[in-house]
Each structure stands twice: as C-alpha cells, then as structure tokens.
Amino acid sequence: MPAYDITVTTGAAPEEVWKLLVDGASWPLWSKVDSLDTRRSTGLDPDGDDGIGAVRAFRTGRTVTGERLTEKVEPRLLAYESVFNPSIRDLRARIELTPAPGGGTVIRWSGAYETGPLLRWIMPRYIRGFMRGMAEGLARYAEGNQPR
C-alpha cells in the first residue's frame, strides 16, 4: 500500500494552524487545491469548524475529490478518509500538530492509499510532492496570519 509521511515546522502556534485545518473554506488560501466545492460537500460548519462526518469536496483543476473527517482532537489531530477520488481509493490520512521546541508547531501529514495498476508507478511520487506542498503551504500561511 503506497504511503506518504511529511513533516514540516512552522513558527505559528498549534491553535493558529488548527483553525486553518478545520475550516475547509480556508484550504484554497494555503493549499494546492483550487476551491472548496460546496455543492458536493456535506456537513460543513458555517463558522469554519467542520466536524467529524463532514465531507469536504476539493477541486484541483478538473478533478474533485471528497474527504470525510473521521477523527478530531483539538488542537492536535485531524484525520480523514477518501469518499470519492478518481485516482486513489481507501485513503486514510492524519494531520498531527505538536508544539515545536522553542515555539511554533511541527506538522506531520501522513496517509496511505490504494491505486490502480496503471498509476501504481506514478502516483506515489506525485502524491508525496503534492502533500509536501500542502503541508508547506499550511505552515507558511499560518505564519503570515499570526496575531500581531
């Protein structure tokens, strides 16, 4: 089963990073996704605190993928699974936040998934790069939105 495990550090506090993670509407601001498709999403919180069971549909180019939140431990862990994705299946992912020594947050974004035989050789490298971009985008955006 292909997997990825990305770790980045940000100067932002865990609570600031957490606010961005639980608000699906914020993801296009800091991540590699283009938009949140609200028509295909369900259970989104209007105040930006999506809960367990919410399905967040993200559009990247012409592709829309849906992810259901499965675990939420504020402000340390957000886990999700794929609901619909044309390229991968059985995705299980975790985003773990831990305070960094000296301040800031260590972000660990990991997951495992299945893919078809045609994509088995390409997808692991692509997914690792995509997810690294997601984690780095979150880290940098959270730093830029620190309370002053």
pLDDT digits (tens, 9 = 90+) for 83-104: 999 889 999 999 999 999 999 9
Summarize pLDDT for 40-90 with one digit per residue, the tens: 999 999 999 999 999 999 999 999 999 999 999 999 999 999 999 988 999
pLDDT at 114 over 70: yes
Residue recorded with tokens 């993801």: 27
148 Cβ neighbours under 8 A, 6+ residues apart = none
* CATH number of the domain where residue 85 is located: 3.30.530.20
For the chain, strand residue ranges (E) read 3-10, 35-36, 55-60, 63-73, 77-84, 88-99, 105-115
Total domains, the chain: 1
Q: What is the percentage of the chain residues whose pLDDT exceeds 90?
A: 89
Mean pLDDT confidence for 25-31: 96
Cα 89–114–118 angle (5° rounding)?
100
Predicted model pTM: 0.93
- Whole-number pLDDT of residue 148: 44
Mean pLDDT across the stretch 34-44? 97
The CA–CA distances, whole Å, from 11 to 1, 62, 111 equal: 33, 34, 24
- Domain of residue 14 covers 3-144
